[in-house]
Structure 1
Amino acid sequence: MTAPDQEPSRPRRSGLRGFGHDGPSPWTDLDRPPLDAAALRRDLLVPGGLWSALDVVEETGSTNTDLTERAKAGAAAGAVLVAERQSAGRGRLDRQWSAPARSGLFLSVLLRPTVPRERLGWLPILVGVSVAATLQRIAGLQVGLKWPNDLQVEIDGTERKLGGILTELTGDAVVAGLGLNVTLRTEELPVPAAASLELAGAEVTDRGTLLRALLREFAELYGEWQAAAGDPQASGLLPAYTARCTTLGRQVVVQLPGGRELHGEAVALDTDGRLVVRGADGARQAVGAGDVVHLRPAPPQG
C-alpha cells in the first residue's frame, strides 16, 4: 500500500528522542510512518455515517479492552480506537498477540447492533468479509477466511495467516477487534505460518489508505446486515463469506474446548454462523468455538 491519500504529518524535531536511555525514537523507521488521526477523522466522521469518534494512540495494552471499558461507561456506537502498537493484544482464547509498532492495523470498533441477539455470531464473519473485500479491491490480494476468524493468504502454495478478528459482547454493545499484519518483514514474523501484506506482494501498503477503505466497506456491509435484521442470507453476508471461506469443503480437525477433537468434513455454516462438520458416520455437528486444522489442500477454484 504505497499510495497514501496524503502526506503524513511530521513531528517537530524538538520533540524527538535519539537512541538514548529512553530507547529509539518512534520516528526512526521511515518505512512505517504514523497514522494521521486528524485526516482520518475528517474523512470518516461524516454526518449520518456509522463512525462517531476515531482516536489513534501511540500504544495501549489492548484496543478491545479499552473500548469495552468505554462501552460499560455508555460510549456511543461508532467509536473507533486504533493503536500504533499493542503491548497486550489478545486473540481468541486470550492468546497474546504482538507486533512491531506501526507494522499493521490494530484497531477495535464499538457497535450497538439492533439485530436479534442470536445473530450476533455473524459479526466476526462480517468483519472478515469486509477486510477480504477491501484487500482484494485496494491491495490486489485474494484473501481467504478460515473459520472462525483467521485472514489467510497463499504464498508459494502455502496458506499463511495475515491477521485475526476478536469480538466481545458487553451488555448491548459489541466490540470488534482486528489485527492485520501490513509490513512485517520475514524476521519479524511471530511464527513461520504468519504473513503480512508486504510479504504477500500487496499493491498498496499504506495503512491510512487501507484503514479508510476498510472502515467504509464495513460500514456499508454492516448497514445492509442491520437492515436485514441480521439475516445472513437476505443481507448477502452468507454467500459473500462462503465464496471466500477456505474451510468449507475441507477435511478438518476441530480442537474443541476441554481437549476434545472433532474430525470430519466442514460442509456448511448454520443460521448462527457455526461451522457444521460431517463425521465419518455421516452425522453432522455444529460447533461455535474451536481451533480448526485443515487436513488437505482446498480443491481447485473454478
Structure 2
Amino acid sequence: MRGFGHGGPSPWTDLDRPPLDTEALRRDLVVPGGLWTALDVVTETGSTNTDLAARARAGEAEGAVLIAESQQAGRGRLERRWSAPPRSGLFLSVLLRPREVPVERYGWLPILVGVAAAATVARVAELDTGLKWPNDLQVVTAGEERKIGGILTELSGGAVIAGLGLNVSLRATELPVPTAGSLALAGAAVTDRATLLRALLREFAELYGEWRAAAGDPHASGLLPAYTARCTTLGRPVKVQLPGDRELAGEAVAVDGDGRLVVRTPDGTRHPVAAGDVVHVRPQRPDVA
C-alpha cells in the first residue's frame, strides 16, 4: 500500500484528505458505560487487524479501536491483499470479547459489521447500499454494483478482531479493479471520514449490544432479517467458487441460521454454502427479432 511516514509526504499534501483528529474522536466515542474503551489513530501500519490481535493476546480489554490512515499490508478474505492511497478511506479494526455468546455464533460478527456499515452509509451518505454475501459492501452507481468495502474477522487471544476497509474518497484513476468504487464516486451526501466513523461505531455498538443480549441468536437479535433485507445476492442466479476448485451454480434463495448462503440448483436441491466466492450472474436477455 502506498503510504506516508518517516521521510514520506506530508498528510497535508492532499487537502481533500485531511487527517483524523484522534482527541476529538476519543471525546465523542470513548465515554463511560460505552462499548469503546480505547481509540487510536496511527499514521501508517501493516495491518490494523494484526496490530490489534497482538494487543488482544496481551490482554487488551474489549472495545479497543485502531484506525490507520494508511495500511501497507491490508488483508481481505482468502488472504487477498489490497491497497489504497493514504486517508482515502476508513481502515480500522475493533477488539471484541462477547463472553455471553457461544463461540459457534461468532461467525455472525462479520455480518453484524456489514449490516452496521451498510446502514451507516445508507443513512449518512444517502446511498443505495447493499451487502454481497457474505460481507462485501456495495453501492449502485449508474446501474452497476460497485464494491466499496470489505470485512475480515479473526480470533486472537480469546477475542474477535473485526476489521473493516471502506473506500471513501477514491478517485476513478485510483480504483484497484474495475468493479471497485467509493462513496465520492457514487455521489455520497457526506464523505467526511470523521462523521462516517462516529456514525459507524455508534451504529455497531447498538447492534452489537442487541446481538450480545440475545446470546448471539441471529433471529432474536434481529440480525438475520436485517442482513437479508440488505443482501444483494438473494433471489439472483449465482456461481459459487468452492474450495477444491469446485463450482456451484444456481439461485441464491436464503441465508440460514448459521449465516450460510443457500443455493438451489436446477434440480431443486438446496445447498448450504459456508465459504466461497460468489459471482452474481446477469440473467440472459432473450434475443429480440
**Structure 1 residue 278: Cα displacement:** 1.0
What amino acid is aligned across from residue 97 of structure 1 in structure 2? W
Structure 1 runs of 4+ aligned residues shifted over 6 Å read: none
CA-to-aligned-CA distance 1:80-134 (integer Å, 9 cap, x gap): 0000000000000110011000000000000011211111111111001101111
What amino acid is aligned across from residue 281 of structure 1 in structure 2? D
**Structure 1 residue 26: Cα displacement:** 2.4
**Structure 1 residue 170: Cα displacement:** 2.1
**What is residue 78 of structure 1 aligned with on the other side?**
63
**What is residue 180 of structure 1 aligned with on the other side?**
166
> Alpha carbons of 1:40 and 1:267: their partners in 2 closer, same or farther (altered >3 Å)?
same
Q: Secondary structure at the match of 1:60?
A: coil
What amino acid is aligned across from residue 211 of structure 1 in structure 2? L
Query: For 1:147 and 1:24, how far apart are their aligned partners in 2?
Result: 38
- Summarize the alignment of residues 201-212 of structure 1 with structure 2, pairs less than 5 Å apart: 201-212=187-198
Contact residue 124 and residue 176 of structure 1 kept, 8 A: yes
**What is residue 121 of structure 1 aligned with on the other side?**
107
**Structure 1 residue 169: Cα displacement:** 1.4
**What is residue 287 of structure 1 aligned with on the other side?**
273
What amino acid is aligned across from residue 168 of structure 1 in structure 2? E
Is 1:247 the counterpart of 2:233? The answer is yes
Query: For 1:109 and 1:186, how far apart are their aligned partners in 2?
Result: 29
Q: Secondary structure at the match of 2:278?
A: strand
**Structure 1 residue 258: Cα displacement:** 1.6
**What is residue 41 of structure 2 aligned with on the other side?**
56
Q: 2:77 aligns with which of 64, 76, 92?
A: 92
**What is residue 27 of structure 1 aligned with on the other side?**
12
**What is residue 10 of structure 1 aligned with on the other side?**
none
What amino acid is aligned across from residue 20 of structure 2 in structure 1? L
For structure 2, the 5+ residue unaligned runs are 284-289
Cα RMSD, aligned residues only:
1.3
Query: For 1:138 and 1:61, how far apart are their aligned partners in 2?
Result: 29
Q: When the two structures are superposed, what TM-score results if normalisation uses the length of structure 1?
A: 0.90
Query: For 1:76 and 1:68, how far apart are their aligned partners in 2?
Result: 12
Contact residue 132 and residue 142 of structure 1 kept, 8 A: no
**What is residue 8 of structure 1 aligned with on the other side?**
none
Q: 1:130 aligns with which of 107, 116, 119?
A: 116
Q: Secondary structure at the match of 1:89?
A: coil
Query: For 2:30 and 2:11, how far apart are their aligned partners in 1?
Result: 27
What amino acid is aligned across from residue 94 of structure 1 in structure 2? E
Contact residue 53 and residue 157 of structure 2 kept, 8 A: no
CA-to-aligned-CA distance 1:167-206 (integer Å, 9 cap, x gap): 1112421000000000000000001110000000000000
Is 1:167 the counterpart of 2:159? The answer is no
Query: For 1:173 and 1:25, how far apart are their aligned partners in 2?
Result: 35
CA-to-aligned-CA distance 1:52-83 (integer Å, 9 cap, x gap): 10000000000001111111111111000000
**What is residue 287 of structure 2 aligned with on the other side?**
none
- Summarize the alignment of residues 5-20 of structure 1 with structure 2, pairs less than 5 Å apart: none
For structure 1, the 5+ residue unaligned runs are 1-16, 298-302
Query: For 2:111 and 2:282, how far apart are their aligned partners in 1?
Result: 23
Contact residue 184 and residue 199 of structure 1 kept, 8 A: yes
- Summarize the alignment of residues 226-237 of structure 1 with structure 2, pairs less than 5 Å apart: 226-237=212-223
Query: For 2:231 and 2:240, how far apart are their aligned partners in 1?
Result: 16
Q: When the two structures are superposed, what TM-score results if normalisation uses the length of structure 2?
A: 0.94
Query: For 2:38 and 2:10, how far apart are their aligned partners in 1?
Result: 28
Is 1:105 the counterpart of 2:90? The answer is yes
CA-to-aligned-CA distance 1:15-46 (integer Å, 9 cap, x gap): xx9xxx93432211110000000000010001
What amino acid is aligned across from residue 173 of structure 1 in structure 2? A
Is 1:147 the counterpart of 2:133? The answer is yes
**What is residue 6 of structure 1 aligned with on the other side?**
none
Query: For 1:176 and 1:22, how far apart are their aligned partners in 2?
Result: 31
Q: Name the % identity.
A: 78
Q: How many equivalent residue pairs? A: 278
What amino acid is aligned across from residue 169 of structure 1 in structure 2? L
Query: For 1:232 and 1:24, how far apart are their aligned partners in 2?
Result: 46
